[in-house]
Amino acid sequence: MQLTWHGLSCFRLQSDGASIITDPLFSGSGLRGPRLNANLVAVTDPTAAKHLDLPDGPGAPRLVAGPGEYEAGGILVEGVAAKRGGALTSYRIIIDGLNVVTVGTLGELPDSDAVAQLAGADILLVPVGGGGVLSGKQAAELVTLLEPRIVIPCGFKIPGLTMKADPLDKFCQEIGICPKDTLPKLKLTRKDLPAEEMKVIVLDKA
């Protein structure tokens, strides 16, 4: 699997011949997002789907915008309600044998039911910048609850972002294990997963 970060909670997860994009960027963010040429496009907040300019016709991406099970191109997605009766959805994505959880644009911790369904991920994509999404402290609490093997923070302040967001440092202070170096993208197989200690990986914006 190849994982690319485009800013905020927008990622492209790519396997051989298939891909999924999470939480595409919107024009007011100040950031340029990826082309939506993927098998699946998943959004945390269903109201965001109304503003997406998805291509149509043969080969158009399938929109994922709520709880349930989805599949395209060999990528499996399970949508989990972040809170009972709430509007926001987190996702478990199975791609190339890896279990990836994205909590997208959540602004508060998910409830115990959601935590039980999302726990034990290989990789957790978690916003850390506050300003409408999880703060660094909340994100660190969620990491403790979900116990992933790899954590990839997102939603923090970067050049070009016009929305209010905290710098990555605040999350690093809470979690205590942020690396000094960043990666342009992440290429990973199951054999690359850390055997024991959890690892934090910071990606550059594509």
Q: CATH code at 180? A: 3.60.15.10
Q: Are 93 and 76 in contact, with CB atoms under 8 Å apart? A: yes
Residue 168 lies in a domain: yes
For residue 114, is it within any domain? Answer: yes
**Start-to-end C-alpha separation, the chain:** 16
pLDDT of residue 97: 96
Contact criterion met (CB below 8 Å) for 195 and 152: no
CA dist 151 → 9, 54, 71, 115, 177 (Å): 13, 29, 24, 16, 10
**205 within domain boundaries:** no
Q: What is the pTM of this model?
A: 0.95
pLDDT of res. 156: 97
Query: How high is the pLDDT of residue 52?
Result: 80
The answer to whether 169 and 140 are in contact (CB under 8 A) is no
Q: Confirm whether 140 is domain-assigned.
A: yes
d(Cα 112, Cα 98) in Å, to the nearest integer? 23
- Distance (Å, rounded) from C-alpha 107 to C-alpha 22? 16
- Structural domain contains residue 163: yes
Total structural domains within the chain: 1
In a domain, 160, yes or no: yes
Q: Write out the residue range of the structural domain in which residue 129 sits.
A: 2-200
Confidence at residue 95, expressed as pLDDT on a 0 to 100 scale? 98
Which residues in the chain come in under a pLDDT of 70? none
Domain membership flag for residue 28: yes
Give the model's pLDDT for residue 32.
87
Residue 57 lies in a domain: yes
Output the pLDDT for position 126. 98
